[in-house]
């Protein structure tokens, strides 16, 4: 009898001990893989940043991170899918200037850049360059502007679509320089770069790290970078601001978001791990190799970044009357 009571007591104690442990495991985040939605095709700058983080996080969080490319409609399709996902902490949306700052002004999107998402943390930014085809007689921004003023609408520039950052970046320069260029939109970044390398268009904005490779091969000319300050990675590369256009200042960024109403606990956990990785020697080296200036930062930093760009690009869209047909 005493033995039976002892066994029963031990069984009950074991059961009681097991319950909190099981509850702890169930409550632990993350307890299953996380999907990371990239609204662009594989191989681009935004996708490269997303994949870097997706490969670094599993060792830190104990779960896999699966990148899901949902490209189309200038990044709208993937971003809308992310906005509509369950706010359970298992869907991360990779945002950029196009999807969070520009598309809401130029396209009929089914999301709100502020109300539909919970910012996690920025990854960083990658400087953009204004480049010219190798065969263009003008070899400096001063010469390009002089030619454009002498022959309005003659110099062409490409972009990865109407209403894209590629178009708005040059529209801003037209405004700053008081010139008129001819916009030639392409269906994606790769076709626009190929057109420039083939001397079919005159100008283009593209990631500086990609432009540098092509410039060293003699396939294009770099006229300057689009941010107001020189890049930490390419300190010898002059900005357009220091070449006479101080108001010209923009760059591409990449950041991570949850659907709105995701728990602050999940947000703070991922933000902490992303920032911790970006501070490691490995993280700094990997981002630098990809052309990123890894900034990291808080949820509020990312929210403020979106708010600033959202207002700026909205103003350019209105002033230049840019609309996607």
User: What does pLDDT average to over the chain?
Assistant: 90
Query: How far is the C-alpha of 305 from the C-alpha of 70, rounded, in Å?
Result: 24
Instruction: Report residue 296 as tokens.
Output: 């990291």
Over 50: is that where the pLDDT of 22 sits? no
Q: Which has more confidence, 123 or 15?
A: 123
The DSSP-derived string for 262-303 is --HHHHHHHHHHHHHHHTSHHHHHHHHHTT-EE----HHHHH
Residue-wise pLDDT tens digits, 185-206:
998 888 999 999 999 999 999 9
Does 28 have pLDDT greater than 70?
yes
The structural domains of the chain, with segments of one domain joined by +, span 33-126+251-320, 128-243
Give the mean model confidence (pLDDT) for residues 34-55: 93
Asked, colleague to colleague, whether 33-126+251-320 and 128-243 share their fold, the answer is yes
What superfamily does domain 33-126+251-320 belong to in CATH?
Bordetella uptake gene, domain 1 (3.40.190.150)
Q: Is the pLDDT of residue 52 over 70?
A: yes
Fold of 128-243: D-Maltodextrin-Binding Protein; domain 2 (3.40.190)
- Tell me: pLDDT of 11 over 60: no
**pTM recorded for the entire structure:** 0.86
């Amino acid at each position: 009898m005493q033995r039976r009571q002892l066994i029963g007591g031990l069984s009950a104690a074991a059961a009681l001990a097991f319950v909190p442990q099981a509850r702890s495991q169930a409550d632990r985040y993350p307890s299953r893989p996380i999907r990371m939605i990239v609204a662009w095709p594989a191989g681009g700058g935004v996708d490269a940043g997303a994949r870097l983080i997706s490969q670094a996080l599993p060792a830190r969080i104990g779960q896999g991170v699966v990148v899901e490319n949902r490209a189309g409609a200038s990044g709208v399709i993937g971003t809308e899918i992310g906005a509509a996902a369950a706010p359970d902490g298992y869907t991360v949306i990779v945002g950029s200037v196009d999807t969070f700052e520009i598309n809401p002004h130029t396209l009929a999107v089914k999301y709100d850049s502020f109300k539909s998402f919970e910012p996690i943390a920025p990854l960083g930014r990658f400087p953009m360059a204004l480049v010219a085809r190798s065969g263009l007689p003008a070899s400096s921004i001063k010469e390009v502007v002089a030619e454009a003023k002498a022959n309005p609408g003659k110099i062409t520039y490409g972009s990865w679509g109407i209403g894209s950052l590629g178009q708005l970046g040059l529209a801003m320069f037209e405004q700053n320089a008081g010139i008129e260029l001819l916009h030639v939109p392409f269906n994606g970044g790769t076709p626009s770069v190929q057109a420039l390398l083939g001397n079919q268009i005159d100008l283009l904005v593209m990631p500086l790290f990609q432009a540098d490779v092509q410039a060293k091969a003699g396939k294009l000319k770099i006229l300057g970078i689009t941010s107001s300050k020189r890049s930490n990675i390419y300190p010898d590369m002059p900005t357009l601001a220091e070449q006479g256009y101080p108001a010209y200042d923009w760059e591409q960024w990449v950041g991570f978001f949850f659907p709105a109403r995701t728990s602050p606990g999940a947000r703070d956990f991922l933000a902490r791990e992303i920032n911790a990785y970006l501070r490691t020697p490995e993280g700094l080296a990997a981002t630098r190799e990809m052309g990123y200036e890894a900034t990291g930062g808080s949820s509020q930093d990312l929210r403020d970044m979106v708010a600033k760009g959202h207002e700026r690009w909205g103003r350019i869209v209105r002033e230049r009357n840019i609309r996607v047909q």
